[in-house]
Amino acid sequence: MKRRKEVAQIPVDICRHAIIVGYGRVGTILAENLRQKDIPIVVIENTRARFKELAKNSFRSIIGNAVNKALMKLAHIDCAQTLLVTVPNGYEAGQIIEKTRSLNPDITIIVRAHYDDEVRYIRERGANHIVVGEHEIARTMAHFLSKKKTVGCTINNNDDNLLSGTKDLDKYLKPDASN
């Protein structure tokens, strides 16, 4: 059987940074947003296709499963300021948080979740902020109720949004090369 070639990790030399776990629908937007704010970041992603995309977009990145403590050490978790966990599975996120807390008790941890039982699990493992996707959808839909009808179509177009207006629609719907 033919074995796949190992992908070499590129060492990152960084401190007082943010670590993003996952470079999918959430992580890509977040990484771009932090770059625009000049916040230094390292992204940990476990698929080759998304990892290649990170390199193409010139982000410091590490390939592998963020549950693995060795990878967190490569990302300099010991001196990072923030961990942003964007993976969709709350239980996997909980494991990542638990390992991270043991390596850096003071780091601020922000986590994505979807279900109530996940929220409990994540909170118990030491997250500082939990963002529940469905709550954000409801909040933004309610926000549009108070708005006048506009020309064209907006996406998440509230005051502190990440993607706004029709000009971003094309970018958001661009086919993903990894698919």
Q: Which residues bind ligand AMP (CB under 6 A)?
A: 21-27, 44-47, 50, 65-67, 86-88, 92
The tokens for 67 are 């549950």
Inter-residue contact 69 to 99 (CB < 8 Å) = yes
Shortest distance, CB of residue 27 to ligand AMP, whole angstroms? 6
Shortest distance, CB of residue 146 to ligand AMP, whole angstroms? 29
In this complex, which beta carbon is closest to ligand AMP, that of residue 47 or of residue 128?
A: 47
Inter-residue contact 57 to 35 (CB < 8 Å) = no
Shortest distance, CB of residue 162 to ligand AMP, whole angstroms? 13
Q: What are phi and psi of 131, to 5 degrees?
A: -110, 115
Residues in CB range of 135: below 8 A, 6 or more apart: none
User: Which among 137, 134, 141 is positioned nearest to 90, based on CA atoms?
Assistant: 134
In this complex, which beta carbon is closest to ligand AMP, that of residue 23 or of residue 121?
A: 23
Shortest distance, CB of residue 148 to ligand AMP, whole angstroms? 32
In this complex, which beta carbon is closest to ligand AMP, that of residue 86 or of residue 104?
A: 86
In this complex, which beta carbon is closest to ligand AMP, that of residue 86 or of residue 100?
A: 86
CA 37 from centre of chain: 15
